[in-house]
A and B are shown apart, each in its own frame.
Chain A
Amino acid sequence: MENEAGALSRVAGLFSSRGYNIESLTVAATEDSTLSRMTLVTTGSDDVIEQITKQLNKLIEVVKVIDLSEGNHIERELMLIKVRAVGNDREEIKRMADIFRGRIIDVTDKSYTIELTGTGSKLDAFIEAMDHTTILETVRTGASGIGRGERILKV
């Protein structure tokens, strides 16, 4: 969509006014600074998804809409998770982060902050695998998606 003030609120407003779900929404400028790209994760029946696509296309600032889940695609989400890491837990948590290909990016004598990317379900699985009492804080970006192979979204 056009990288203009207010474009994001038009999209968010559309979803709330028409009662559609937003599971996550990420947006940032692209290599073309006049354009920004948004990845929005939503749920609904085929009819609802069709309406969402049409309604988004109607927004004046939206340049192009594609449903990534119609074809092969890659999606990634970033999570930063701060956990209490003391005593024997420190080694165990480090091992768990390694298994999930996470990286410890900040360390204190009582905590680790781990950076982890992957699909939403991988991040869920990591949280599931952790001892919940050790989790101090999590922050997730929501999914960004792109088509697999030659499939591109270009204006």
Chain B
Amino acid sequence: MLNPTYIADIQDLEMQESMSAELTGAEITVRCLQEEGVEHIFGYPGGAVLFLYDELFKQDKVRHILVRHEQAAVHAADGYARSSNKVGVALVTSGPGVTNAVTGIATAYMDSIPLVIISGQVPTHAIGLDAFQEVDTVGITRPCVKHNFLVKDVTELATTIKKAFYIASTGRPGPVLVDIPKDVSQQKTKFAYPERVTMRSYNPNIRGHAGQIKKAVQLILEARRPMIYTGGGVILSDAAAQLTELVRLLRFPCTNTLMGLGGYPATDRHFVGMLGMHGTYEANMAMQHCDVLVAVGARFDDRVIGNPKHFYNPDRKIIHIDIDPSSISKRVKVDVPIVGNVPDVLDELIKLLKLRKEKPDQNALDAWWAQIDSWRERDCLRYDRTSAIIKPQMVVETLYKVTNGDAFITSDVGQHQMWAAQFYKFDLPRRWINSGGLGTMGFGLPSAMGVQIANPAAAVACITGEASIQMCIQELSTCKQYHLPLKIINLNNRYMGMVRQWQEFFHGNRYAESYMDALPDFVKLAESYGHVGMRIEQPGDIEAALQEAFKLKDRLVFMDFVTDQTENVFPMVPGGKGLSEMILV
């Protein structure tokens, strides 16, 4: 039975008719997307999805963005999701369509991004017969999705798509794939979109355990050298406001992981910078030496705490808040685990802290801040500002200034990614979009497309390098088709910079295959796609060039900055070392 108010809401006559008429699987799929409020999908057609594309063609509620490679479709949907907190949707064909999409799916999985990927499959009668463009999509994607479905019966299609959106966006989010055989997209059945689904085997825990939260409050009040360490979970669950309130209430130092930047305002005094392999000296030292650590939506991974044995300190108490129980006590044993939705747990924590009259020992806290300030004086991010060759850090700093810190920044993977994270001060969540977990080169440009489509009026810049950008360079064509005025900041040092840095430090300066020879003329390349290209070779030209580029509000500008080849990212915690064993500049 349908809810009468639900029926009253339906004004579209065509829709009412279809409640009784039978729809094809393809029509049902598109209707489901409409019902979910999906406005944009990113995809690439092919044989197995022709009926789906035919239905997309006949309607105008769901706008399809045609990419040039399926990897980019998923990255674009990913950037769309990260910057908007909507579920990103990608549509790909069977076989190579799916295998191309796998890198994008694995990227989203590692960073817990809510996506629904719809893939075509060969007809059910051909499955398992090595048909043209057949792969075992469910099998290939199983280890890199939150869940996946093969729809063998059209009567289950609508419920399956509903489940896909539900699973992708609840609990710890993640990508969900729905594989639809071609014959299922042709078969007809009655359509009714379920308003909600319940699954006995999937009930993400939302509320934190009250007793555990009380224990956390007690530990926080007893802290003498406290530290708040937060990750992507704060961004994903929209808990930046609660985190900011908590930090300011307690006057505790706060650090964000690479995935968590923007969770706490980077320009605030309580922020001690990013931590981890390329974190600040003060953040890493404070992590190592604190006596009470509050970890929020973070997972103590190898790039963040370095060697867990070195990190271990029996005198340090750890409170860990996360919606995913399997993230807790995985690499580091914690004292007070709290499984729950981060903003709800933080609300409860703030409420209890306000009810209690006591405060943590303020003299001890002042002494701790004095210690942190002395670490800050080390000025670990300093670089040569008088260099005659462009320093990449200066480009990012100037970009920050020119955009008033208000741009959406995507990045690829490598040195430029770390400089972007270190030198662009993110005051707001969802402004920093990067592949943190999987470290996918080629992510920057297509994810920026998704960001721009979700935020049409915003300034969107992709900070990249000459190696990464070539991994999805074909998307310059997509940008032209959809008039996406991205600003591409190419920090061109003619090397795979991070590979070169490791070779310099750990492989006796033998730069095996890390030099990027035979580079294209990026200015001409951009122009050939119909965009604006610039080459910037002098430090004195950085600001004027960026100003000019951002004035071209309706054009994509590819800015090729010729940077210092020898510059390295500091601080650096070498692999396998402890957090406080940094190489400093």
Contacts and interface: CB of A to CB of B under 8 A. Distances in A.
A51 B201 contact: no
Given A58-B324, A60-B147, A155 B200 contact: yes
24 contacts: A1-B201, A2-B201, A5-B150, A6-B138, A6-B142, A9-B139, A13-B142, A13-B143, A47-B329, A47-B333, A51-B326, A51-B330, A54-B326, A55-B326, A57-B326, A58-B324, A58-B326, A60-B167, A60-B199, A60-B201, A60-B202, A62-B201, A63-B200, A155-B200
Contacts of B329: 47, 50
Nearest to B200: A63
A48 to B, nearest CB: 10
A127 to B, nearest CB: 36
Contacts of B325: 54, 57
Interface residues of B, number: 18
Interface of B: 138-139, 142-143, 146-147, 150, 167, 199-202, 324-326, 329-330, 333
Contacts, number: 35
Contacts of A103: none
A129 B64 CA distance: 70
B407 to A, nearest CB: 36
Contacts of A10: 142
Interface string A55-67: 1011011110000
B446 to A, nearest CB: 27
A47 B167 CA distance: 27
Nearest to A6: B138
Interface string A9-43: 11001000100000000000000000000000000
Contacts of A58: 324, 326
Nearest to A17: B143
Nearest to B171: A58
B142 A9 contact: yes
Q: Chain A interface: which size bin?
A: 20 to 34
Contacts of A17: 143
Contacts of A9: 139, 142
Q: Helix, strand, loop or mixed for chain B's interface?
A: mixed
Most chain A Cβ neighbours within 10 Å, of B139, B326, B333: B326
Top 9 A-B pairs, shortest CB-CB distance: A54-B326, A63-B201, A60-B147, A54-B325, A17-B143, A60-B202, A55-B326, A13-B142, A58-B326
Given A6-B138, A9-B142, A61 B201 contact: yes
A30 B326 CA distance: 28
A6 B152 CA distance: 13
Contacts of B199: 60
A57 to B, nearest CB: 7
A58 to B, nearest CB: 6
Contacts of B167: 60
Contacts of B143: 13, 17
Contacts of A61: 201
Contacts of B333: 47
Nearest to A57: B325
Interface string A104-116: 0000000000000
B237 to A, nearest CB: 17
B19 to A, nearest CB: 29
A110 B329 CA distance: 57
A155 B146 CA distance: 23
Interface in A46-82: 47, 50-51, 54-55, 57-58, 60-63
B327 to A, nearest CB: 9
A33 to B, nearest CB: 15
A51 B142 CA distance: 19
A60 B146 contact: yes
Nearest to A1: B201
B260 to A, nearest CB: 22
Most chain A Cβ neighbours within 10 Å, of B142, B200, B201, B330: B201
A61 B167 CA distance: 12
Nearest to A18: B143
A9 B142 CA distance: 9
A47 B308 CA distance: 14
Given A6-B138, A55-B326, A63-B200, 13 more contacts: A1-B201, A6-B142, A6-B150, A10-B142, A13-B142, A17-B143, A50-B329, A51-B330, A60-B146, A60-B167, A60-B199, A60-B201, A61-B201
Interface in A113-149: none
A136 to B, nearest CB: 35
Nearest to A16: B143
A50 B199 CA distance: 24
Contacts of B200: 63, 155
Contacts of A50: 329
A127 B142 CA distance: 39
Contacts of A62: 201
Contacts of A54: 325-326
